[in-house]
Amino acid sequence: MTRRGKPKQRTQQRRDERRWHHAPAPRVGVPVRVEPPRRVPIPPLPKTTLAPSPGRWLWTCRAGSEAPLYEELAWLKRAPKLLGPALVESDAPGEASPTFARSGFPVSALAASPAEAAAALPTSPLHLEAWVPDTDAANARSGEALAWSETIEALRPSGAVDTPWKAFEAGALLAQVCLWSAGQAAVGVIPARDALSLAAGGRTRMKRTGEAPSRAAMKLDEALDWYGVSPGKGDVCVDLGSAPGGWTRRLVERGAKVLSVDPAHLAPDVRAHPKVKHVQQSAFDFAPDGPVDWLFCDMAWRPLEVAQLLGKWARRRWAAQLVANLKLPMKDKLPVLFRVRHTLEGAGWARVRMRQLYHDRDEVTVTARLA
């Protein structure tokens, strides 16, 4: 498998995208009229990765998402700078939580050895995360991150917090050591409870199980992990764009009942499950018999039209909670996301959060609950 997925999946994605371009828009609501902030010129990525600046924030993102992350930070007036593949720096973000950042921290020092990194960290108990940016070139240096981590741990006073979840529960710090170049690290700390992600470099790897090994299922697991709540026994879920059934399977495994809506076929084991009802039609034509607990959506369709459909669900109060994965194959993702947020909030979805999670490709995960 390549980093961008199996050739068969890529072909399917291209086929889906071709269908959107030629299909007429479904009638789901009024057109969105709001205008996003003025576009920002994006400078080219530097040929060699630049050193982060102590006193500023260092962000890491999916390789290829530097431009939307830069523009988001520019819209927030945080003076962003592209440092290199998967790395952007900016002024402190305040309350903002950029959609295209996987993780970020304030850089307190630069270190050219594990000893310098250890000396730059506070002596209080903390969980240490040493990582490389998620690019092919940097991933080849992941052994270096492991070696730095072991040496720093050995140099530090005892009492390390052994998992990031324990650091979260204890209100402790996550120490960040980003090896932005060979032998060169940016060092800082962030309270675990304020971190965008508890995983090193924001790479929240979900476990593959024998039963449901699809990327789709891992996307859902990561989304629910990030949301912090998940459907349980007796909850009724609607899953729009559900075929071949990875999300639906995961939801019934959690004890929920699922109305699985997709014109395409479900995998035989999912279709035959007693808690699954396959509604073989377009999500744009579907209406539930009554309100449900959760709306899930992973439809391969144009994001603004999907947002209008999700907006209809909020206006009619058809679902209490939302988890959606929006497809963003277009170059200019940010103006689209701006309109998506406006559509969802205007329709009555509250606490709308958006993030390009680790298992998302040209996609973002959206969660919300009914106002």
Q: Which residue has the tokens 């329709």?
A: 347
- In the list 66, 89, 298, 360, the residue contacting ligand SAM (rule: CB under 6 A) is 298
Q: What's the rounded Cα separation, in Å, for the pair 62 and 314?
A: 31
CB of 59 to ligand SAM, least distance (A): 27
* Binding segment toward ligand SAM, per CB under 6 A, in 126-134, 186-194, 282-290, 315-323: 282-290
CB of 226 to ligand SAM, least distance (A): 17
The candidate with the shortest Cα–Cα distance to 361, out of 19, 61, 39, is: 61
Output 176 or 248, the one with its CB closest to ligand SAM.
248
CB of 264 to ligand SAM, least distance (A): 4
Residue 351 is classified by DSSP as: E
- In the list 29, 64, 125, 244, the residue contacting ligand SAM (rule: CB under 6 A) is 244
Residue 3, helix vs strand vs coil: coil
* Ordered alpha helix ranges (H), 60-109: 66-75
Is 221 a binder of ligand SAM (CB under 6 A)? no
Q: Is 108 exposed, middle or buried (0-12, 13-18, 19+ CB in 10 A)?
A: middle
Output 53 or 214, the one with its CB closest to ligand SAM.
214
Which listed residue (219, 257, 327, 333) is catalytic? 327
CB of 207 to ligand SAM, least distance (A): 16
Residue 349, helix vs strand vs coil: strand
Q: Which residue has the tokens 């995960």?
A: 365
Query: Is residue 327 among the annotated active site residues?
Result: yes
CB of 98 to ligand SAM, least distance (A): 25
Is 299 a binder of ligand SAM (CB under 6 A)? yes
- In the list 138, 240, 279, 319, the residue contacting ligand SAM (rule: CB under 6 A) is 240
Output 121 or 240, the one with its CB closest to ligand SAM.
240
Residue 149, helix vs strand vs coil: helix
**Longest CA pairwise span in the chain (Å):** 64
Is 282 a binder of ligand SAM (CB under 6 A)? yes
Q: What's the rounded Cα separation, in Å, for the pair 302 and 329?
A: 9
Q: Which residue has the tokens 């209008």?
A: 308
Q: Which residue has the tokens 């995961």?
A: 250
| Residue burial 329-357, b: 16+ Cβ < 10 Å; e: rest | beeebbebbbbbbbbbbbbebeebebbbb
Is 54 a binder of ligand SAM (CB under 6 A)? no
CB of 287 to ligand SAM, least distance (A): 13
The residue of the chain with the least Cβ separation from ligand SAM equals: 246
Is 365 a binder of ligand SAM (CB under 6 A)? no
Q: Are 220 and 278 in contact (CB under 8 A)?
A: no
* Ordered alpha helix ranges (H), the chain: 7-22, 66-75, 114-120, 136-139, 142-155, 164-170, 215-227, 246-253, 268-271, 303-315, 333-347
* Binding segment toward ligand SAM, per CB under 6 A, in 75-83, 156-164, 239-247, 348-356: 239-247
Instruction: Count the site residues for ligand SAM by CB under 6 A.
Output: 20
Q: What's the rounded Cα separation, in Å, for the pair 51 and 89?
A: 10
- In the list 58, 83, 216, 344, the residue contacting ligand SAM (rule: CB under 6 A) is 216
Is 284 a binder of ligand SAM (CB under 6 A)? yes
Is 245 a binder of ligand SAM (CB under 6 A)? yes
- Residues near ligand SAM (CB under 6 A) are 216, 240-247, 261-264, 282-284, 298-301
Catalytic residue annotation: 327
